[in-house]
């Protein structure tokens, strides 16, 4: 693992990142870079695929906005050979989701360089648009300075997305190139680290000067992970309490309208055709009357709880906790809290951490004789 520092000019972190990404895009073997950028037509930050270095002036990878998990976009870019290499700037949960998609044969790593930045978190989509105002870049600068200095980050009564507050993976460990912020004096420098052979190739081409990792970084990261883990465990306990029976689960999901937005937003829900949008759940009209007749009343639409249970059974082993399911819900159901609570136990049972390594086989894709012996009774 190779480490370097690049100077932050005039304390302007965004300008420094802009120049760093421009230097990557100018490399001979990099044809494009995918990076979050302010759109000129609206006050919003979205992923943009840039081929012209001069079009990087509006990039803002530190903006506390997370409108889409870009693992899906990288999957689309890499599912078939392009004949060219693309650098992609992603949050840690986006990298982890992409690694899962690669293992599920939905993407490829051969023509992509994963550039990860220490994640400062983000607000919910609707909250961000309400608090950012017209000064997007200035807001980002204030936000990252507050986060890195340990100051209050709630804005106008809006706090960070619960998914970010509960995320114990603020460092993009699966990146080829890591841009370090925690434990780094970002008023003066940024830490750049090559963490894979792919990253080392790009590192050498950028002619970076070797430096040591700041000694404060380990403690800073550990402190943040401890804080987020404590929030996560509290969230698990509270969610378990309000969903630990069928009756409570029905209440928790009572205002679900079967819009399926959470399925569409989920980066690891990859089926080309979901069973819930087929004729399987297109019930005959008389069937609704039969169900209603059993108790004299039935909630409409039907199958809402069954839908979420099916999704949990399908992809809880691959959930990376990005929170896009809750972001996409029109009725503000805390879907993320439920999915993370169940997924944590599922992943613990299989001793599997999604997105940790491309070498780890997904659960249920291989058979192990000694797996889950305490559950199935093998050997007793």
Q: Are residues 106 and 171 in the same domain?
A: yes
Q: Are residues 115 and 162 in the same domain?
A: yes
Q: What integer pLDDT is reported at residue 190 of this predicted model?
A: 94
**Are 35 and 91 within 8 A, CB to CB?**
no
Q: Are residues 270 and 185 in the same domain?
A: no
Give tens-digit pLDDT for 49-105: 999 999 999 899 999 999 999 999 999 999 999 999 999 999 999 999 999 999 999
* Average pLDDT for 129-151: 85
* Average pLDDT for 144-150: 90
Does the pLDDT of residue 368 top 70, yes or no? no
> 3-class SS at 61?
coil
* Average pLDDT for 183-191: 94
Q: Are residues 114 and 258 in the same domain?
A: no
Domain boundary among 170, 198, 221: 221
% the chain with pLDDT above 70: 96
Query: Would you place residue 197 in the very low, low, confident or very high pLDDT band (cuts 50, 70, 90)?
Result: very high
Ranking 8-12, 172-176, 239-243 by mean pLDDT, the lowest is: 8-12
Q: Are residues 133 and 197 in the same domain?
A: yes
Q: Are residues 146 and 27 in the same domain?
A: yes
Written as one string, the DSSP assignment of 139-158 is HHHHHHHHHHHT----BTTB
Which residue pairs, CB below 8 angstroms and at least 24 apart, start in 129-133?
Answer: 129/43, 129/44, 130/156, 130/158, 131/155, 131/156, 131/158, 132/43, 132/65
> 3-class SS at 50?
strand
Other Cβ atoms within 10 Å of 372 Cβ, number? 13
Query: Would you place residue 271 in the very low, low, confident or very high pLDDT band (cuts 50, 70, 90)?
Result: confident
Structural domain count of the chain: 2
Domain boundary among 187, 221, 255: 221
Q: Are residues 213 and 341 in the same domain?
A: no
Q: Are residues 214 and 318 in the same domain?
A: no
Q: Are residues 62 and 193 in the same domain?
A: yes
Does the pLDDT of residue 225 top 90, yes or no? yes
Q: What is the pTM of this model?
A: 0.92
Q: Are residues 246 and 270 in the same domain?
A: yes
Domain boundary among 165, 194, 221: 221
Biggest alpha carbon distance in the chain?
75
User: What burial class does residue 380 get, using C-beta atoms within 10 Å of its C-beta: 0-12 exposed, 13-18 middle, 19+ buried?
Assistant: exposed
Q: Are residues 240 and 270 in the same domain?
A: yes
* Average pLDDT for 205-234: 94
Whole-angstrom distance, CA of residue 335 vs CA of residue 289: 29
- Domain span at residue 339 reads 229-376
Query: Would you place residue 367 in the very low, low, confident or very high pLDDT band (cuts 50, 70, 90)?
Result: low
Q: What integer pLDDT is reported at residue 98 of this predicted model?
A: 97
Q: Are residues 237 and 217 in the same domain?
A: no
Query: Would you place residue 379 in the very low, low, confident or very high pLDDT band (cuts 50, 70, 90)?
Result: low
Does the pLDDT of residue 376 top 80, yes or no? no
Compute the C-alpha angle 79/83/89, nearest 5°: 60
Q: What integer pLDDT is reported at residue 375 of this predicted model?
A: 57
Query: Would you place residue 374 in the very low, low, confident or very high pLDDT band (cuts 50, 70, 90)?
Result: low
CA distances to 23, 350, 374 from 377, in Å = 58, 16, 6
Give tens-digit pLDDT for 233-246: 999 999 999 999 99
């Amino acid at each position: 693992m190779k480490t370097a520092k690049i100077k932050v000019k005039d304390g302007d972190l965004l300008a420094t990142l802009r120049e760093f990404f421009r230097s990557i895009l100018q490399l001979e073997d990099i044809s494009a870079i995918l990076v979050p950028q302010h759109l000129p037509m609206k006050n919003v930050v979205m992923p943009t695929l840039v081929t012209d270095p001069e079009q990087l002036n509006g990039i803002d990878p530190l903006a506390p906005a997370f409108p889409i998990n870009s693992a899906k976009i990288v999957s689309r870019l890499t599912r078939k050979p392009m004949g060219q290499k693309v650098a992609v700037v992603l949050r840690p949960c986006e990298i982890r989701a992409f690694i899962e998609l690669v293992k599920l044969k939905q993407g490829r790593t051969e023509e992509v360089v994963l550039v990860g930045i220490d994640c400062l978190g983000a607000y919910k989509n609707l909250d961000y648009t309400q608090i950012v105002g017209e000064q997007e870049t200035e807001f980002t600068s204030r936000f990252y300075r507050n986060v890195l200095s340990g100051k209050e980050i709630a804005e106008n009564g809006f706090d960070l997305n619960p998914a970010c507050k509960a995320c114990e993976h603020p460092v993009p460990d699966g990146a080829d190139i890591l841009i370090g912020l925690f434990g780094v004096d970002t008023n003066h420098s940024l830490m750049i680290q090559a963490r894979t052979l792919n990253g080392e190739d790009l590192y050498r081409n950028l002619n970076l000067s070797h430096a040591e990792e700041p000694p404060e970084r380990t403690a800073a990261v550990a402190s943040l992970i401890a804080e987020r883990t404590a929030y996560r465990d509290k969230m698990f306990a509270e969610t378990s309490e309000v969903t630990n029976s069928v009756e409570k689960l029905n209440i928790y999901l009572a205002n679900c309208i079967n819009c399926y937005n959470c399925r569409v937003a989920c980066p690891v829900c990859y089926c080309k055709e979901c069973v819930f949008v087929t004729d399987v759940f297109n019930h005959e009209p008389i069937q609704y009357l039969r169900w209603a007749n059993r108790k004299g009343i039935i909630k409409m639409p039907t199958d809402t709880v069954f839908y979420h249970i099916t999704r949990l059974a399908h992809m809880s082993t691959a959930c990376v906790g990005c929170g896009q399911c809750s972001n996409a819900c029109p009725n503000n159901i805390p879907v993320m809290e439920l999915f993370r609570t169940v997924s944590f136990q599922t992943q613990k049972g299989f001793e599997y951490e999604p997105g940790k390594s491309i070498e780890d086989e997904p659960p249920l894709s291989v058979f192990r004789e000694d797996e889950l012996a305490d559950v199935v009774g093998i050997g007793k």
